[in-house]
Amino acid sequence: MAPAPQPAQLTDLVGSLKRHWLVVAVMAILGLILGVLASFAIPPTYDATTTISVNPMNADPLSSAVDASKSVSMSTEAGIVTSSKVAKAAADTLRSTYGLSTEQVRDATSTDSPDGSLILSIHFSGDTAKQAATGADAVAQAYLTLRRTEAAGQVDRLVTAANTQLGKIRTDSATPAYANGLAQQSLRIQANSLGEKIARLSSFDLNPGQIVGAADVPTKPSTPGPIPLGAAGLFLGLLIGIPIALLRKEEEDSEIGGVDGLHAIGDQIVLDGTKDTNRADTWDIAAFMLKIPTSIRTDGPFVIMVDAEESPGRAITPGQELVDALARRGRSARFVDAGAINEGKISRGWPTDKKRSSWAGEIVVIDTTHTSSDANKVALATRSDSVLLARSTTDDAAALRRLAGLLKSKGVDIALTALFPASHHDVVAAGR
């Protein structure tokens, strides 16, 4: 049964980025160039601000009480500033110089107000610094004019209504129905009340506010320049380039191919057996190259971990091939198939001290070819004296790179990697 696919490790990602750093660099440089070019292609925009102090005007001029918190809603005033009426009035002022339409003025206008204050800031975005400052002042003036006009209109309507009622009282006072003294007294009271209302209306404060801070001509545009846009483009290029590098699949990533492929993975010592017609010859050299003590200590074994990819049709495992090669050199070794050991045992610390004591004085070759978990392979490698990897040219380079990275992260050195030619089964499968 084929081993379950291993999850991507951090070492895989780092290794992929190192191999495809050129892709990341190209995307980052491309993003930088596009960002700088965009800074020259985007028309500059200038922002200016005019500040207004809003005067509280009672919604009902006939009321004697004026409560600023109730008579002024700053959100309502902000809505008036950005209304079509104000935009049209400001556009009429700006049209002769800048040719701005009502919609353009409205789109260029924004407002804000500090919480709990009667200060209204009017912002205007223009194509030039002068246009921005002039536009902000024009919108502010149009707002004040509109607010004053509407307040004056309301007062005029109330005065007209009061005068109409006063005229009716005068007419009624001359009719027989109001000839008695009580009726006349009532009419006089009503007339006096209306007279007082008209007097209050005539003195009502129609000043909606004043400009407390005229717009200054901005000295630099508000749109980002080449440096911030270039930095943004560089960052965006990295965000695009890194996933491309991680997902990039190349032919050399799928198969080892040769000794150069193994060196690219980072192996320290590679035995090239691709020209050997007999695998046993390669294993004889591997057994010779391994640094095995001439005498094994009596308090423990010398453990060699051998790992290879499973290959259908292979008569014996690489671990047994190494045991046979050692035998040809006059060194006996014990073969242990880690695939036959419960993986739970391995993860908990197999081989145990008791097991190692039973192997004392022996060379023990632990074959992890049939062990599906890379984590267990690394665990066994940390408990071994030497690690040998056996791979063919058609084996999975990405899987080997992952395992090599995990071993390196645990401080385990690969003593030797033996590279064999593709098996007959692999050649037939490739031909299909």
Residue 30 has, within 13 A of its CA and on its CB side, a CA count of 11
Structural domain spans, the chain: 21-42+225-247, 46-213, 252-431
Whole-number Å distance between alpha carbons of 84 and 63: 30
Give residue-wise pLDDT tens across range 349-406: 999 999 999 999 999 999 999 999 999 999 999 999 999 999 999 998 888 888 998 9
Flag whether the pTM goes above 0.85: no
Give residue-wise pLDDT tens across range 86-96: 999 999 999 99
Is residue 314 within 8 A of residue 392, CB to CB? The reply is no
Cα Dmax for the chain: 147
Give residue-wise pLDDT tens across range 345-357: 999 999 999 999 9
Give the pair of three-digit tokens for residue 136. 């902000």
Sheet holding 119-126, edge to edge: 109-112, 119-126, 46-54, 209-213
Q: Which helix (H) or strand (E) holds 121?
A: strand 119-126
Among residues 180, 308, 234, the alpha carbon closest in space to that of 37 is found at 234
Give the pair of three-digit tokens for residue 146. 């509109």
Question: Looking at residue 69, what is its pLDDT?
Answer: 44
Q: φ, ψ for residue 186 (rounded to 5)?
A: -65, -45
**CATH topology (fold) of 252-431:** Rossmann fold (3.40.50)
Question: Looking at residue 2, what is its pLDDT?
Answer: 42
